[in-house]
Structure 1
Amino acid sequence: MNFTYPIFLWGLSALAIPIIVHLFNFRKAKKVSFSNVRFLESIKKQSSSNLRLRHLLILFCRLLFVFFLVLTFTQPFIPGSENGLQNRSVQLYLDNSNSLSNLTENDISGFNKLIGVAQEVVNLYPQETQFNLFTNDFLPGSSISQSKTKTLERLTEVEYSNLTRSGKEIFTKLQSSDPNESKDVFILSDFQQSTTGTFDAIVDSINQYHIVAVGTPEQRNISVDTVFLTNPFLVPNQKNSVQVRLRNQGPLVNDLQVKFFINDQQSATTSIDIEANSSHTVIFELTGQLNKTNRCRISFEDFPISFDNDYYFSLNQAAQINIVEVSNQPNSPVSKVYKNNDLFSVESYQSESISYPALERADLIVINGLIKLENGLKAQIEKHLTKGSTVIFIPNESATSYQFGSTTIERDSSVSKSPLSIPDIKNPFFENIFESISNDTQMPNVSASFKWSANNVQLLKTKTGQPFLSHLFQKGNLYVFAGPLTAPYTNFHQHALFVPVMHRIAEQSSTNHQALAFNVDRINLTLPVDSIPNGQLYKLQKEGAELIPSQRVSANELVLDMPKYLLTPGFYDLTLGDQLFTTIAFNHSKKESNLATLPVEEIEARLSGIKHLNLYQPQDAASFSKILKEKYHQRELWKYTLILSLIFLFAESVLLRFL
């Protein structure tokens, strides 16, 4: 045991005072006259014995009171068992993601618990220590060292962040400083499985690491997993609906009220039950007249995790998909299948009267039954594919071969007519087209009279294994039929399968399709646009706030580099000058809604390359501070000595009163 102020040990000389008082009784005796004292002799002996014991006990209490009181002033302590917390450079990472709003064992949020731990860590160091405080925002200037006082001020200003950081990002940031300088590194987090992810082995033999993992007794949460339209394109006067898949990470939930808002007006509500650790899909019909751009929101009540109780998304009316068919066949089945849908704008040209400006504007070019491709048309097709657009090629029965870049499509006279096989509905191309197809379904007969050797995905093939419709991997999307769509060769164009297949190809060719929503931690956004006018910039506006992200146009697409640390969930208007271009919805990262955390054993295994590693799961900030003090600083005993001195003072009072 050591003493902080050993000079106070001279105070032990005060122990002589109660001894002197005990040895010399300065009270004067008073003479009392009695008529007969013969009967008081036995009482006198008994009283003297009791008084002697009483005086000794009082002396003992007084001595111990003075002794422990003096020790209190010396502030005794037991030195720490290890050396540590002595570096003058400290790095502190504080996880401030929304998942830390979950409650800990003490019914306080994990975020408030970590704030308290961080403050205790800073207070353990001397005033001259320099700190680097990092949060998920990775704000500019966070790498600059700050004093103890300034760091404590910053900790009071830290709020929840909409950003998530992986383990790789965190350690890369922490190790970006001087690698030759020894530091104390504190990492305070809940270590979510979904956000921490996997990272390369961390090897460090210089720095001292202290890992503080927040424990939460319950990891339950309800969140929106997916929102999508039954028909991916919102077309006026066509029925459509919004499908919302809710995920329950926890026990059974009964009577959850789910509300659907369109342009701040409640459109529908429903009550659902969600089984434990499962998902449930809710369908809201889109009724009434919708605007060109619509702000929509899914809302419900869930406690204690409430940051993801609202999910924002925008419904924009689909722009028409421009389709240009080049064919010498009047009223071809291709033009018929597209002309019956308001989503498509179809133009048809014969080979000798092609409009090349129309080809430039087209989202989808259909080459149907041409015997030969003229050089100008061939160049336009290759240019179209180069910029990532879509081409459907249907050969002519009289042609011998075609050339697309390095891909040769040539006639195969050895193939006979054969029915198509049942399509693989697990292929992403057929997603949401068929729920199921019976093996007894009668399929069309086709003649796969052309073949190719390029890399491709076979979407439709005959029962003999010959490809009939394939997706060839060019710079764009080239869909090739293995035979003409005419009666002598096939009845595919008259089969029920023809319409959904052709519609799916056209839908995937759309360059104007915008996602319903984005995450706030998205690095960049890509939107269809022709160009940025000179001297003008696209701006993001929300409730009076204005952001001007870095932007560029590439291949008819606007690429916005998003300022992640400035984005918040909700709606942003993308404007050019005074004109509204579109409305974009942002939400919290779906990873953040998954509250499952890494076990302590796995954290230790992933950080096994760190030589000096300490891992803690404290109950609260005070207990964590006590653990560090006892381990690295000292175990203070002055509180115990003060209590003991008061106990003996109380014992002396009791003896004086009752004995």
Structure 2
Amino acid sequence: MQFKNPEILYFLILLIIPILVHLFQLQKFVKVPFTNVAFLQTLQQQSRKSSRLKKWLILCTRMLFFTALIFAFSKPYFSPQNRAKEPQYFIYLDTSLSTDTRGEKGNLLKIAAQEIIENTAPNNNYSLLTNTDFYKDLNKKELKKILLSIENSTLKLDLKTVFLKIKQENKNKTKALHRNILISDFQTTYNNKFTNVTTAFTAVQLAASQKNNISIDSIFIRNKNSQNFTVHALIKNQGPKKENVPIALFNIKKLRSKQTFSIEKNTTKEIQFKVNNTGDFLGKLKLAFSDTFLFDNSYFFAVNTKKINVLAIGNTTTFLSKIYTEETFRFEQKTLPEVNYNTLDKQQLIILNELKIIPKILAKKLAVFSQNGGSIVMIPAQKLSVNSYNTFLRSLNVGEIGRHQKDTLKITAINYAHPLFKNVFSKRITNFQYPIVRSYAPISGDVSKIVSFENNTAFISQLGNKKMYYISAALNIKNSNFINAPLIVPIFYNLGAMSAQYPALAYRAGQENTIEITTETNKDEILTLANTENSFIPGQRASQNKVLITTKEQPKKAGFYSVFKKDIKIQDLAYNVPREESLLNFLDLNKLSKAENITILPSIKEVFKKIVKNNEVHWLWKWFLLLAIVSLFLEILILKFYTP
């Protein structure tokens, strides 16, 4: 038994007052002379016994009256829970995209929100956590307003974060009786997330009515030239074999191509579209198929046609112009006297091709160029000035060139893990014809080997963590046959491609993305991202001729967004929702049902029904009040009808 007003029970001490009155306020008998003394003595003894019994009965009824009255005012009750603490309800509602699908009653998220509204009690206090926001100390009216406007989000909230938030709230409200409710589809395998959880909670799993899905997983571009390029789309099927699935390719809203395909059970298939290269292409792939998730039936991508600026300073050569073709690059070759130093900062890649010395003015410009993120490739001359080169390298704190050596060496080792060779080799090559050099100038210090000689010294290396590369031998035909080796094309092509961080084909909404935008901005100018529905200012950091923008929580929806400087459009970007949301892997909650602190219930209605049952109170004050009335009635009966 528990009491709402336990302090009232202190008044039980006052019950000692009627006891003291009964003991010390005794009735005095008056003696009257009478002739028959023997008879009188017997009557007196009987009267005293009856009077004493009546007094004890009256005392008991009065004690019972006051005791029952005090208990009634203390409001006693029976309840499974401690009513001394106010209940505090913490609700986590999963708003990830995987809950944007149809269940037995309708859209999973909308139905869950509606059932919470219908089953919550009006007088309780609630906290609501979603994937994007946290609301605390809500009454039912405030909770209802939020739930009616709730939307799916591209953000995925880790369950570890949910439990940390619950723990923090429980710690802040130590005098509250906490009820923690997790409502989610529990996508992917979360078993390890529950192993060390000590917080008690109730879980409800939202389940989709369909268990098969087809999605566009990713796309990439191949065979791009001045006439056309090929779009490769990876289609992922989860579930049974599907036939005659329509897929269409749009340039913004204009249909460019369409086809149908079949895909086997639980497989991935590549679909190709050949597209005419007419400039910038804002592509949208769309599957016309009804399945578990609809958000993954579209994929947005942006093909930008900006060319990469490459400048070669030094000896004129033909192999560079064959690699840096006009379809992708804007390539120039200049001798040292022809260089316009004012245009160096507009380049993405500068190649020092067999310069004997690096003039001080050029070294100073190159140092600034490197510090601003530009790429530099150094190919030393056979008769180089080592001091001139090292003076330049020391200004950047990267490496030191040794004395020029005449020794015929084979180029034998490739660092396949280096980003320069990403997607270049399908397998490791061990039996290729080794190119040779007849002389070289080795480098030491903080360098990472990309390609090595047979004596394990570096032939091509990256200097420090900068975008600086050193080739230790002159590549003219008299000194080396490396320009005739197949390896030279992917190396120099990727050196050019990696020098410009142009926007990718697509980015993920709701995740952190750092994007380099080539543009010049004044001190007070900012870049904005916008489409027809939304606009926002991303985080940004300006440097010479470029701005690094960072997007994270925005944008929230997939689609095309344009980068604006004032009213001038600079670049188009494409965003897609995370493809992990398409997975049909869900946790089996039955595996958690044996845990003492975890309660698994089939529906939201059952959760609140059980909570109401656990919070049900059986009040006893009415019975004690009735007992007080009965005791008072008994006293009246004793006083009126009981005569000694």
TM-score by length of 1: 0.71
Change (3 A) 1:284 1:622: same
Report the Cα distance in structure 2 between the residues aligned to 1:585 and 1:300, rounded to whole angstroms: 21
Structure with higher Rg: it is: 2
Alignment partners' CA distance in 1, 2:449 and 2:290: 46
* Paired position in structure 1 for 2:187: 192
Choose which of 447, 460, 480 in structure 1 pairs with 2:451.
460
Match of 1:316 in 2: 304
SS at match of 2:478: coil
Contact 1:99–1:593 (CA under 8 A) maintained in structure 2? yes
**In 2: Cα distance, 1:433 partner to 1:409 partner:** 29
Q: Against the structure 1 CA distance between its residues 346 and 85, is the aligned structure 2 distance closer, same or farther, given a 3 Å change threshold?
A: farther
- How far did residue 145 of structure 1 move? 2.1
> 2:100 aligns to what?
101
* 2:86 is aligned with 1:87: yes
Q: Does residue 1:336 correspond to 2:336, yes or no?
A: no
Q: Which amino acid aligns with 2:402?
A: E
CA distance in 2, matches of 1:626, 1:525: 48
Corresponding residue to 1:569 among 558, 581, 588: 558
- More relative contact order, 1 or 2 (CA 8 Å, 6+ apart): 1
Partner of 1:649: none
Q: Tell me which of 109, 114, 135 is aligned to 1:111.
A: 109
1:380 paired with 2:378, answer no
- 8 Å CA contact 1:367, 1:392 repeated in 2: yes
CA contact (8 A) 1:165 1:196 kept: no
Q: Which residue of 1 aligns with 2:31?
A: none
Q: Does 1:487 pair with 2:477? A: yes
CA distance in 2, matches of 1:197, 1:219: 24
Deviation, structure 1 residue 303 = 0.9
Tell me how far 1:364 sits from its aligned partner. Answer: 0.7
Write out per-residue CA displacement over residues 156-176 of structure 1, whole angstroms, 9 at most, x where no aligned residue: 332323332222443454455
Distance, in Å, in 2 between the alignment partners of 1:580 and 1:454 is 44
Provide the secondary structure at the position in 2 that maps to 1:584: strand
Q: 1:621 matched to which residue of 2?
A: 604
Cα pair 2:210 2:291 within 8 Å, conserved:
no
Instruction: Report deviation, 1:391.
Output: 0.8
In terms of mean alpha carbon deviation, does 516-525 or 552-561 score higher?
552-561
Distance 2:249 2:358 in 1: 52
**Displacement, 1:602?**
7.6
Equivalent residue number for residue 351 of structure 1: 336
Q: Which residue of the partner structure matches residue 293 of structure 2?
A: 305
Q: Does 1:210 align with 2:202?
A: yes
Q: Aligned with 2:420: secondary structure?
A: helix
Give the SS at the match of 1:341.
coil
Give the deviation of 1:394 after TM superposition.
0.8
Q: Which amino acid is the alignment partner of residue 191 of structure 1? A: F
Displacement of 1:286 after TM fit? 1.1
Offset, 1:152: 2.6
Letter of the 1:250 partner, please give it: G
Q: Read off the aligned partner of 2:291 and give its amino acid letter.
A: F
Q: Secondary structure at the match of 2:311?
A: strand
Residue 622 of structure 2 corresponds to: none
Q: Is 1:417 equivalent to 2:409 in the alignment?
A: yes
State the distance in 1 between where 2:440 and 2:409 align: 9
The 2-side partners of 1:530 and 1:195 are apart by 45
User: Residues 131 and 146 of structure 1 are in contact (CA less than 8 Å); yes or no, is this contact kept in structure 2?
Assistant: yes
The root-mean-square deviation of aligned C-alpha atoms, in Å, is 3.6
Shift in alpha-carbon separation, 1:592–1:504, aligned structure 2, 3 A: same
Does residue 382 of structure 2 align to residue 394 of structure 1?
A: no
- CA 1:494 to 1:108, structure 2 compared with 1: closer, same or farther past 3 Å? same
Give the equivalent residue in structure 2 for 1:243: 232
From the superposition, tell whether residues 406 and 445 of structure 1 become closer, same or farther in structure 2 (CA, over 3 Å): closer
Question: What do residues 357-389 of structure 1 show as CA deviations (whole Å, max 9, x unaligned)?
Answer: 122221111112122323222233332222222
Query: Is the Cα–Cα contact under 8 Å of residues 446 and 462 in structure 1 kept in the other structure?
Result: no
Q: Deviations over 1:235-290 (max 9, x none)?
A: 6x243111111222333333322211113122222322333333111111112x52
**SS of residue in 2 equivalent to 1:429:** helix
Question: What is the Cα deviation at residue 571 of structure 1?
Answer: 1.7
User: SS of 2:217's equivalent?
Assistant: strand
| CA deviation after TM superposition for structure 1 residue 320, in Å | 2.1
State how far apart, in whole Å, the 1-side matches of 2:100 and 2:384 are.
Answer: 68
Equivalent position of 2:61 in the other structure: none
Quick one: which of 563, 577, 582 aligns to 1:593?
582
- Alpha-carbon distance between aligned partners in 1 of 2:166 and 2:348, rounded to the nearest angstrom: 47
| 2:509 is the counterpart of 1:526 | no
Identity of aligned residues (%): 20
The one-letter code matched in structure 2 to 1:323 is V
Task: Check if 1:146 corresponds to 2:163.
Answer: no
- 1:624–1:277 CA distance, 2 compared to 1 (3 A): same
Gaps of 5+ in 2: 1-76, 619-644
2: distance between equivalents of 1:196 and 1:366? Answer: 53
Whether 1:473 and 2:458 are equivalent positions in the alignment is no
- C-alpha contact (below 8 Å) 1:131/1:151 kept by paired residues: yes
Contact 1:132 1:145 in 2 (8 A): yes
Residue 214 of structure 2 corresponds to residue 227 of structure 1: no
1:437–1:220 CA distance, 2 compared to 1 (3 A): same
- Gap change, CA 1:504 and 1:177, over 3 Å in 2: same
Unaligned runs of 5+ in 1: 1-77, 636-659
Instruction: Give the direction of change, closer, same or farther, for the CA distance of 1:489–1:560 in structure 2 (3 Å limit).
Output: closer
Aligned counterpart, 1:47 = none
Give the whole-Å Cα distance in 1 for the aligned partners of 2:519 and 2:188. Answer: 41
Find the residue that maps to 1:416 and give its secondary structure: strand
Contact 1:101 1:111 in 2 (8 A): yes
1:583: Cα distance to partner?
2.0
Residue 440 of structure 2 is aligned to residue 449 of structure 1: yes
Partner of residue 130, structure 2:
135
